[in-house]
Amino acid sequence: MPRTLITGGAGFLGSHLCDKMLNEGHEVICMDNLITGDMDNIAHLMGKDGFSFVKQDVTEYIYVAGPVDFILHFASPASPIDYLKLPIQTLKVGSLGTHKTLGLAKAKGARFLLASTSEVYGDPEIHPQVETYWGNVNPTGPRGVYDEAKRFAEAMTIAYRTYHGVETRIVRIFNTYGERMRVNDGRAIPAFMSQALRGEDLTVFGDGKQTRSVCYVSDLVDGIFRLLLSDYHDPVNVGNPDELNMLELAEEVLAITGSSSKIIHKELPKDDPKVRQPDITLAKTVLGWEPKVDRSEGLRRTAIYFREKLGL
């Protein structure tokens, strides 16, 4: 039975990866300091054979007894609300946390997968974004703590592969949604869902014409798992290339939830990307992967989860 360590395992994506790896026959060690993670996300796994939880900050020394075959480094604040509130922690988990987990991978002979992000492209000047694009990032802007932490983490991961021979994989994750997102996450879909279901106005920033491409969580997890088991070690975009603007997304959420809420506009945050769309040619070619869940179906499932979470 392979042993897999998942940092940030009590978070939105991390918890779904815990499910996936257990279902694939892995023993899973879930590690999280719970600053943005939630034990509710893994409550159904507690006491299950092959699953264990360790509360720990991965920026500190990490000790794991016994063999480790795979390490998935998903620990990090990931929404603007989180990394604006936790800038130092965000920088530390991207730098020190990546260093510690890579060091563990080297010591254990484990394959290491880094959760990177489309944010490494910043406010892109190339559209859609391809893996060879170097990005347009403001290192001293409000989003810089997250963008640069992930860019550093990629460089550190490549260095460990080049100089220490660690088997590494890098996934650049584009906007993802689904069950286990936090109600107060701050990103578009959880914000729209919670506002619509509560009968509140939906807040759209700027004119709402900025675009995103949203991927349902099960599709993303499938892409990550395929990358982990592949022989490809350079960064790979994983996301849904079906692009839409924020006004369109807000209207879709209103339709899915049956809400009569209104859409209001607020000032666009500084350095908010104007466009975001993955080129997934590489994922299709190398991993044989592309998203399968239609957005309307994904939003329907997500709305059911948010109704339950809000007690509605």
* Whether residue 219 sits in one domain with residue 200: no
Tokens of 291: 């998203």
Q: What is the Cα 27 distance to its own chain's centre?
A: 22
* Whether residue 189 sits in one domain with residue 125: no
* Whether residue 128 sits in one domain with residue 65: yes
Give the model's pLDDT for residue 268: 86
* Whether residue 125 sits in one domain with residue 142: yes
Give the model's pLDDT for residue 273: 87
Please check whether residue 65 lies inside any domain of the structure. Answer: yes
Residue 176 near residue 118, CB atoms below 8 Å: no
Domain of residue 31 covers 3-176+215-238
Give the model's pLDDT for residue 48: 96
Give the model's pLDDT for residue 271: 80
Give the model's pLDDT for residue 87: 97
Give the model's pLDDT for residue 116: 98
Length of the chain: 312
Please check whether residue 190 lies inside any domain of the structure. Answer: yes
Give the model's pLDDT for residue 296: 96
* Whether residue 229 sits in one domain with residue 133: yes
Q: What residues act catalytically? A: 146
* Whether residue 234 sits in one domain with residue 159: yes
pLDDT block averages, 10 residues each, the chain of length 312? 98 98 98 97 97 98 97 96 94 98 98 98 95 96 95 98 98 98 93 96 94 97 98 98 96 96 91 92 98 98 96 88
The model carries a pTM of 0.96
Tokens of 140: 């001293």
Give the model's pLDDT for residue 163: 98
Strands (E), the chain: 3-7, 27-32, 51-55, 70-73, 111-117, 168-173, 176-177, 202-205, 211-213, 215-216, 236-238, 243-245, 263-266
Q: What CATH number is associated with residue 255?
A: 3.90.25.10
Give the model's pLDDT for residue 67: 98
Please check whether residue 282 lies inside any domain of the structure. Answer: no
Give the model's pLDDT for residue 272: 83
